[in-house]
Structure 1
Amino acid sequence: MANQPSTTTYHTPMERFRGADLSRVSERARRLLGDDVMIMHTRTVRDEGVPMVEVLAAAGSTIDRVRARLEPAPLPPKLRKVDGRPYCIALVGPTGAGKTTTAAKLAVRRGMFGAARPGLLTIDTYRVGGMEQLATYAELADVPFEVVYDEKEVDAAMKRLSQTCDIVIVDTPGRSPASAELTERWRSLLDTIAPDEVHLVIPATLRADLAVDIGRAYRGTRAHCGTTHLLLSKLDEVPRETGVTDLALSLEMPTRWIADGQDVPADLKPGVARLLRNLGLSADAEPDWMPA
């Protein structure tokens, strides 16, 4: 069963240090935060007209703990199973989260999974235009594409995909609380597909309490498989990406990828590095930070 999200808000202790030169500032940070201190960002500022070096630092052990919470297990070296079945990654989440666009990014980006060939499968047969959108991406990128309407069609669709594909990306409908019957139907269909990973696609613009509630709605039950990973979308819509890492930590799932725009396939990035980069940037963080 997947981890259950909590309502806890996580903040990584960060400290600012300012001085005449980087070596002195770094030494002050080391004395306060320990020998494992990590300098996250550095910049030059003026204090009453005098040039100063300012750094943002955190204890290395703190960063390691955060990384451990976010880091996913690596994908298996050989994605195709011994029985020939492709590795399967499903995307679930609320309506409008960007699942279909993200599925296309994963499937059509050349080399996304090394030499493994991807395929696309959708069970989103309810949304007008959803299948057509994904079919267009698949055709343009020469990616095998299947549509499944009920459990009886799953085996045949997966067999066709397994002839040429090593990994299959599954798109699902958005969950609507008002459509419990439809939700039960597609979740049962997803269980029949039996994905190896289920990524919860959540917009980074969503309030943390709402995101946690959505996380609970998609967790595993006795009847259905639950989410295994988090995939934050729409990072480009968050000013300076403030609070994004706290949101990811509050959902308590490893984060393999993030999505930061609508461009297919470019706007899909590794998750952990991006989330760690955002640590400690408060709402009034200056836009001119440069990596140390």
Structure 2
Amino acid sequence: MRIETFRAARSRHALEAVRDLLGDDAVVLRTRRVGDEVRVQATTTWELDAFQRKLRPAPLAGPRFGRPFRMVALVGPTGSGKTTTLAKLALGERAFGGGNVGVISLDTFRIGAVEQIQTYADLADFPLEVLSDVAEVPGALKRLKGCDTVLVDTPGRGPRESADEMSWRRILKLLRPEEVHLVLPAGLRAEVAAGLRQFYAPLAPTHLLLTKLDEVPWEEGVAELADGVGLPTRWVSDGQDVPADLHEAAGRLMRSLSHDRGPWLPARVEAS
């Protein structure tokens, strides 16, 4: 998405520059004063519409491969909040409408990982399967046949992981989830997010799931980060409250483009 920044001593002069460059379709996203100058960020209605189309996901995928349930996997680096986000998805009604949810954990590497998800499973009484070998997959799927949705938690690993630690990838490939959500903290630098997107490409991520929006001041740059990753985005997360801090993504990210002008997009730049 093309976003231009304009600087001038007065707002009027900055807005004139916006119109001169972007024309009648210009839309102001953010304005602020920095020292003696006014800075205006702007784009066009065409760019905003294109971003919203790219951002908005298709309806939630249904079961395939002869299974009675859909499967949604979360992948991403260490510290991105996958397990907490998975608990929000499993325990809340915003994601799957209160249907029966089961969980598969492939995270047998991190100390305390199984205990963490087991605590949520005990509190909410959802079935949990912990897998460390591909031979365990058929039995786990059979035991989860009463679920409507099965969520898959994976280890947080980065580009330097060892071959032994990548065994969970073979299990995930065998599970064949309908959707694979790449979970990234919203405060990542754009180039880091792009590198992680490339690293996880062999797992064929279908969606982006941004977490920790509450750690980004005014959520500035969050929409641009999502745009750079280039995946549709179904949910975002902004805190540790389970399950409340899970939200529909498209509207939230569109609002983040205009954080200093209220709850929706700013007005067009009118001709003077």
| TM-score, normalization by structure 1 | 0.76
Aligned residue pair count: 248
Which digits, 9 at most, give the CA deviation of each residue in 1:208-228, with x for residues without a partner? Answer: 1111111110002xxxx3211
1:98 deviation in Å? 0.3
2:181 alignment partner, one of 173, 193, 199: 199
Q: 2:46 corresponds to which letter in structure 1?
A: S
1:82 deviation in Å? 7.7
**Greater share of helix:** 2
Q: Distance in 1 between matches of 2:88 and 2:96?
A: 12
Structure 1 stretches of 4+ with a deviation exceeding 6 A read 37-42
| 1:23-42 matched pairs, under 5 angstroms | 32-34=23-25
Which digits, 9 at most, give the CA deviation of each residue in 1:66-101, with x for residues without a partner? Answer: 01111111114xx34483431111000111110000
Q: Distance in 2 between matches of 1:39 and 1:115?
A: 40
> What secondary structure is seen at the aligned counterpart in 1 of 2:183?
strand
Give yes or no for the alignment of 1:138 onto 2:121: yes
- What percentage of residue pairs aligned between the two structures are identical? 45
Give yes or no for the alignment of 1:66 onto 2:51: yes
**Other-structure match for 1:126:** 109
| 1:164-203 matched pairs, under 5 angstroms | 164-203=146-185
Which digits, 9 at most, give the CA deviation of each residue in 1:220-262, with x for residues without a partner? Answer: 2xxxx32111111111000111111111111111111111111
Which digits, 9 at most, give the CA deviation of each residue in 1:103-150, with x for residues without a partner? Answer: 111011135312532111100011111111111111111211111111
| 1:75-154 matched pairs, under 5 angstroms | 75-76=60-61, 79-81=62-64, 83-110=66-93, 112-154=95-137
C-alpha contact 1:67 1:272 (8 A) present in aligned 2: yes
Give yes or no for the alignment of 1:216 onto 2:201: no
Q: Distance in 2 between matches of 1:33 and 1:57?
A: 12
> What secondary structure is seen at the aligned counterpart in 1 of 2:172?
helix
| TM-score, normalization by structure 2 | 0.81
Give yes or no for the alignment of 1:289 onto 2:262: yes
> What secondary structure is seen at the aligned counterpart in 2 of 1:180?
coil
1:178 deviation in Å? 3.5
C-alpha contact 2:73 2:177 (8 A) present in aligned 1: yes
C-alpha contact 1:38 1:60 (8 A) present in aligned 2: yes
Q: Distance in 1 between matches of 2:57 and 2:205?
A: 13
C-alpha contact 2:3 2:41 (8 A) present in aligned 1: no
